[in-house]
Amino acid sequence: MKIIIIGNGISGITCARWLRKLGDSEITVISSETKHFFSRTALMYAYMGHMRPEDLKPYEDWFWEKNRINLLEAHVDNIDFETKTLATTQGALQYDKLVLALGSKSNKFGWPGQDLERVGGLYHWQDLENMEKYSPGLKHAVIVGGGLIGIEMAEMFRSRKIGVSMLVREASYWNNVLPAEESDMINRHIKSHHIDLRLGVNLDSIQDDGKGAAKSVIIKETQEEIPCGYVGLTAGVSPNIAFLKETGLEVGRGIKVDSHLKTNMPDVYAIGDCAELSDPKPGRRGIEAIWYTGRMMGETAAYNIMGQTVAYDPGIWFNSAKFLDIEYQVYGEVPGKLPEDMSTIYWEHSDGDKAIRINYHKTEKYIRGFNLMGVRYRHEVCEKWLAQKTPVKEVLQNLGLANFDPEFYDEYEADVIQLYNKQEGTNINLKTKRGLDRVLAFLKS
């Protein structure tokens, strides 16, 4: 059986690896971005000099031949789903099963000047090359869009002492995702890194220097002009599927898939950032463009292709990232705006750089979510509590089990419990002492 995977990101490569584990098919992975898989989430560390570009490759170059996974550097221009033929820059190819793992692309909203030189997103390897190319001698950059990628780009430029203005449409940083207190913490943190954060503003246009490159941006609301030598476009991403729009493949915002990650075309699957579940689980989105979902989808698709019917289960929502120096983790339900049936405890350290939020059901009092800023909790412990709908009291009494590194982080659990007692009129205390042996016993129980 000939299986072709278009896309060598985390979803396509995970699928290829699982296909090899599960059988002896002929596997080809095509990408026009780079020959080898690299860790997209670590792009920033290559720019900042923490990693060499070759360190971004999770597998050695010999891995692919040894595992009989063919890598083809080519662009797929068109797909004929009837004849199962791909038109690529390296010629036509036939498949028996096809996996679309096309990823995302940076959003552009038709701004005047968006295609000038010295303008770019932060998604593809070529975006990193573009930033590298224009960084020498660069005095000031303007980044359009908040979110996780915008703040990474700001950190990258600041690491080279380049001035940064950040234009954010929302009234507070990423407040469509983060609750108000955490969003405000990040506003302060961004400013403390000498980033000129402009909230509640939109980009009007990017001005041409007369030679086809950006020289400044104009803010829509004020018509203020900010001179700059680079404009970063980080106003979100969307599925990279433009070339498939007229093919009969069912698409919405992404490629529509059922719970087995199958598209409406025979023997064609879609996974990762480009896939949109037709029927997502309650409280979850059709497209979840993050690393971990790509990995889970890659594995699930491989099972289904090899004839073992497995439904995609996204598990408990989890994400982790970093806002400059503040680590961020979220488990379960932590919406930007608290719904009617949810209560929350929010504890913030007096240094303003650490916070713990615990969400629970207002009347039934079971745990629903954790939001952690500058404090790290154990994934497995939080996941187990959430999956079992553990009473929030029990969670709080055993909070030490979740604390990732008691040597490193001070003991904040007692403060969190005090907040809960005040809010609910209870008198609970910390029960479980910390210790890896206790964590392991809890996970086994």
Ligand X SMILES: Cc1cc2nc3c(=O)[nH]c(=O)nc-3n(C[C@H](O)[C@H](O)[C@H](O)COP(=O)(O)OP(=O)(O)OC[C@H]3O[C@@H](n4cnc5c(N)ncnc54)[C@H](O)[C@@H]3O)c2cc1C
Binding region for ligand X (CB under 6 A) = 6-12, 30-33, 40-41, 43, 75-76, 101-104, 122-123, 148-149, 152, 240, 243, 272-273, 289-292, 294, 319, 321
Distance of CA 44 to the CA centre of its chain: 14
Q: How far is the CB of 77 from ligand X (least distance, A)?
A: 7
Neighbours of 238 (CB within 10 A): 17
151 vs 195: CA distance, rounded Å: 10
Q: How far is the CB of 418 from ligand X (least distance, A)?
A: 32
By CB atoms closer than 10 A (0-12, 13-18, 19+), residue 148 is middle
Q: How far is the CB of 394 from ligand X (least distance, A)?
A: 29
| End-to-end Cα spacing for the chain | 43
Kindly state the tokens that stand for 439. Answer: 């964590």
- Rank residues 159 and 397 by Cβ distance to ligand X and give the closer one: 159
- Rank residues 274 and 386 by Cβ distance to ligand X and give the closer one: 274
Q: How far is the CB of 203 from ligand X (least distance, A)?
A: 20
Q: How far is the CB of 258 from ligand X (least distance, A)?
A: 18
- Rank residues 75 and 160 by Cβ distance to ligand X and give the closer one: 75
Q: How far is the CB of 287 from ligand X (least distance, A)?
A: 10
- Rank residues 58 and 112 by Cβ distance to ligand X and give the closer one: 58
Supply the DSSP string of 364-383, one letter for each residue: T-BEEEEEEES--B-HHHHH
Shortest Cβ contact with ligand X: which residue?
103
- Rank residues 247 and 421 by Cβ distance to ligand X and give the closer one: 247
Supply the DSSP string of 208-232, one letter for each residue: E-SSSBEEEEEETTT--EEE-SEEE
Q: How far is the CB of 343 from ligand X (least distance, A)?
A: 28
74 vs 48: CA distance, rounded Å: 29
- Rank residues 20 and 75 by Cβ distance to ligand X and give the closer one: 75
Q: How far is the CB of 73 from ligand X (least distance, A)?
A: 9
**CA distances (Å), origin 130, targets 156, 232, 379:** 13, 10, 36
The length of the chain, given as a count of residues:
445
Cβ(314)–Cβ(293) below 8 Å: yes
- Rank residues 319 and 343 by Cβ distance to ligand X and give the closer one: 319
| Phi and psi, residue 53, nearest 5° | -50, -40
- Rank residues 101 and 402 by Cβ distance to ligand X and give the closer one: 101
Cβ(315)–Cβ(296) below 8 Å: yes
The amino acid that residue 217 corresponds to is V
Neighbour-count burial for 397-431, b at 16+ CB within 10 Å, e otherwise? bbbbbbbbeeeeeeebbeebbebbeeeeeeeeebe
Q: How far is the CB of 337 from ligand X (least distance, A)?
A: 23
Cβ(228)–Cβ(140) below 8 Å: yes
- Rank residues 103 and 120 by Cβ distance to ligand X and give the closer one: 103
CA atoms within 13 A on the CB side of 156: 28
